[in-house]
Homo-oligomer: A and B are copies of this chain.
Amino acid sequence: MDNYQVPHYSQRIEHVLDACLPSADTSPARLHEAMRYAALSPGKRVRPRLVYAAAEVLGVPVTKVDGAAAAIECIHAYSLVHDDLPAMDDDDLRRGRPTTHIAFDEATAILAGDGLQALAFEIVATHGGLDDAPAARAAQIATLAHAVGSRGMVGGQVLDMGAEGRDDVTTDDLEEIHNLKTGALLAACVTMAADAAEKLSLDQRAALDIFATRIGLAFQVRDDVLDIESSTEKLGKTQGADIAHHKATYPALLGLGEAKALAERLYTEATAALDIFDNAEPLRAIAAEIVKRDH
């Protein structure tokens, strides 16, 4: 399918996300404005599209993953809001706009992040598409909670901060950081779709795990490369921020050429794992986009 369109579900996710977020005039209005500002800001929506792509490959009806798609984007948005706080990365710019604590204030940003995390779980717990599948709903919530918690995304952020300024960070350390900080949520996109699948063989589960892990790490390696090669304008966030923060990155540890080769290798391994499925084109397309994106 050479003409497969990657932004296949873009309209659907915008619609679902908008419908799941309380309106901007719901009390407290300022909080809901901030939550919508963070979650609906222009973005590539890679994660929700990954959810839909996995569902398509696994034959899961879209209605069973609408909640997962919206929830994961809420989690992603909350994590960016908190990461950008003065006590954390202290960033003013995100997706080409002022970060939430700049556009609003710090307290509102903290609480908007907290509210978005709660909303993510509320969405999965109540979304109508899973009304006849309570076990799938519970499984999706367990997957999401583990992926975003202290042994997942939040843990990765702590390790990432702890590595700042250190000059003894190894590639193993870096892999652990990114597997948690970025990889866990990307893997959850695929797993939450699998949680809603009627039946899945152990081989298929294993193949999805390999795909999700490799593509999650590839995403981060590409991010590191872009921080050097791209521009602030294209990235919508401050170019060169990693170097400014003395962050350990793949290009810093391996050199730029080796980092790019690593991303290619991870991409190849990820897509090879998909051979077990009859039609894995939707996931292959997202994988290609992740590794080849320029922002």
User: Counting CB contacts under 8 A, is A118 at the interface?
Assistant: yes
SS class of chain A's interface: helix, strand, loop or mixed? helix
Within 8 A of B (CB), among A89-124: 105-108, 110-115, 117-119, 121-122, 124
Contact of A118 among B26, B117, B159 (CB under 8 A): B117
- Of residues 63 to 82 in A, which have CB atoms within 8 Å of B's CB atoms? 78, 82
Q: Give A124's nearest chain B residue, CB to CB.
A: B141
Report the interface size class on chain A: 35 or more
In A1-56, which residues have CB < 8 Å from any B CB?
A: 22, 26-28, 30-32, 35
| Complex: A195 Cα to B107 Cα, angstroms | 33
A29 nearest CB across to chain B (Å): 9
Contact of A22 among B88, B115, B151 (CB under 8 A): B151
CA distance A224 to B193 in the complex (A): 47
CB distance from A232 to the nearest CB of B (A): 24
Binary interface encoding of chain A residues 249-283 relative to chain B, with 1 for a CB under 8 A from any of its CBs, else 0: 00000000000000000000000000000000000
Hey, which chain B residues are within 8 Å of A152, CB to CB?
A: 118
**Minimal Cβ-Cβ distance residue in B for A21:** B150
Bound-state CA distance A17–B62 (Å) is 37
Decide yes or no whether A171 CB sits under 8 A from chain B: no
A154 touches which of B111, B125, B134 (Cβ 8 Å)? B111
Give every chain B residue within 8 A of A202 (Cβ-Cβ): none
Ordered by A's residue number, 19 sampled pairs between the chains whose C-beta atoms are within 8 Å are A26-B150, A27-B155, A28-B162, A31-B154, A78-B114, A82-B114, A87-B105, A87-B106, A87-B110, A113-B114, A114-B117, A115-B150, A117-B118, A119-B149, A121-B145, A122-B149, A124-B141, A125-B142, A126-B142
Interface residues of A (CB under 8 A from B): 22, 26-28, 30-32, 35, 78, 82, 85, 87-88, 105-108, 110-115, 117-119, 121-122, 124-126, 134-135, 137-138, 141-142, 144-146, 148-152, 154-155, 157-159, 161-162
